[in-house]
Amino acid sequence: MSLRSRASALRRLPAVLSRRRQAVTGQLRDDLARRTQRLRTAVRPLTETVTEAGWVVGVLAVALLVAGPMLHWRELLVAGAFRSRQLVVEFPVGAGRAAFELPSLAPGAVHEELFAIPTAHRAVLDVGPVTAVRADPLGLLRRERRLSEMDTLYVHPKTLRVEGSAAGLVRDLEGRTVPKVSDNDVSFHALRGYVAGDDRRHIHWKSSAKTGTLMVRQFEETRRSHLLTMVSSRLEDYVSDDEFELAISIAGSLGTQALADGQQLSAAASHGSLPSSSAQRFLDGLSGLTYDWKAKHLVDVARYLSVDELAASVMVLCIGSGVSITELRRARQYLPVDTRVIAVRCILGEEPSVRWLGDLAVATVGRLEELGVAVRRVSA
């Protein structure tokens, strides 16, 4: 390893260790939530009624009941009278919650409140249900009545149109021949002797008449345009969340462009397949993509791609700077030799560049707006 490579590895070491620590913490948190699921379900009616402030007051009340006799207090009187507040209508959006005080209304009257939902970042937000809330001024107890059902809002990742991506990255609709001989295709290759089970429609009668034996056509297999976008969801593959967001945006841009051009699309992350039957479902799937604490290394992901994903004519691996060139070489060995494989490394601030490792193209992209430059260099 060169001195420059060692210096770069040392600079990245704190970020790598931090990402690994986050991965371990996230996995422990998920395990704890799974083990306490039954207990949390059993006490949910109580926890949903009594607020955090109510629990604090309850604990203090018990403490006073114990401390009163010990301190020889003969009388401890706590009295309070509270009037109910106005009816409050709450509108949950993701982890946030908007609250609107509802004034007194005559029968049949209507009151409107405008509320803007923040959509600056990619997310899947649970919107609603709208609830009417009665609570005491101290917020110790509350009673809720649901007024609507919950809905889901998908905030799609940022994408852009990549001009000419279909022509450069994905083979045209008619397909390109590959070095595989097939008995049924459109690209003629050669003639061979007839064997039992061959389709008689492929018998070449003129050659059969000349040779005196039945001859059938052989073809070169063609591949219909089929793009696979694979986004690594392994935490350690990225030194920052911005790299992860850039990888998702690149996959979204290439995938939606392929669908717009009439290509077949498959999509995957480290944990498995993503929906890709339409641009809407594809972007919805990317909206909810998060780090997978148990995600496999890129090499293992390449080994266990599905049959449909392995049938792609072009594969684009969207990864971060945490994936080494050595790992990319090893991952390429498990992918079909007749499939064009392009690895897009997302490294913020880097100038767009392309490096060839045999038949593997490694493109570096520092900003989403530079994706078109990288695509043209790969396609050249």
Rounded to whole angstroms, what are the CA distances from 82 to 15, 79, 87, 101, 135? 53, 10, 15, 18, 10
d(CA 287, CA 154): 6
Residue 47 lies in a domain: yes
Q: Is the pLDDT of residue 371 over 80?
A: yes
- For 100-109, the CB contacts below 8 A with 24+ separation are 102/132
Q: Is the pLDDT of residue 75 over 90?
A: no
Q: Give the domain extent around 197.
A: 177-223
Q: Name the domain count of the chain.
A: 4
* pLDDT value, residue 254: 94
Specify whether 325 is located in the same domain as 182.
no
* pLDDT value, residue 180: 45
Specify whether 254 is located in the same domain as 363.
yes
Specify whether 205 is located in the same domain as 228.
no
Among all chains, which residue has been given the structure tokens 């792609």? 312
Specify whether 139 is located in the same domain as 66.
yes
The runs of H, that is alpha helices, within 295-359 are: 298-303, 307-310, 325-333
Percent of the chain residues topping a pLDDT of 90: 32
Round to the nearest angstrom and report the end-to-end CA distance of the chain.
31
Number of CB atoms found within 10 A of residue 146's CB? 11
Specify whether 215 is located in the same domain as 229.
no
Specify whether 228 is located in the same domain as 373.
yes
Residue 372 lies in a domain: yes
Residue 111 lies in a domain: no
Question: 26-69: per-residue pLDDT in tens?
Answer: 888 888 888 888 887 776 766 666 666 666 666 766 665 566 56
* pLDDT value, residue 93: 81
Most confident by average pLDDT, 144-153, 246-255, 289-298: 246-255
Specify whether 211 is located in the same domain as 181.
yes
Specify whether 229 is located in the same domain as 331.
yes
* pLDDT value, residue 301: 93
* pLDDT value, residue 287: 94
Q: Give 279 or 96, the one with higher predicted confidence.
A: 279
Specify whether 16 is located in the same domain as 47.
no
Question: 113-128: per-residue pLDDT in tens?
Answer: 787 777 788 988 888 8
Question: 217-247: per-residue pLDDT in tens?
Answer: 776 555 568 899 999 999 999 999 999 999 9
Compute the average pLDDT of residues 130-154: 76
Residue 108 lies in a domain: no
Residue 78 lies in a domain: no
Residue 107 lies in a domain: no
Residue 112 lies in a domain: no
Q: Is the pLDDT of residue 194 over 90?
A: no
Specify whether 338 is located in the same domain as 356.
yes
Question: 301-312: per-residue pLDDT in tens?
Answer: 999 988 888 888
* pLDDT value, residue 143: 72
SS3 345: strand
Most confident by average pLDDT, 60-64, 139-143, 149-153, 168-172: 149-153
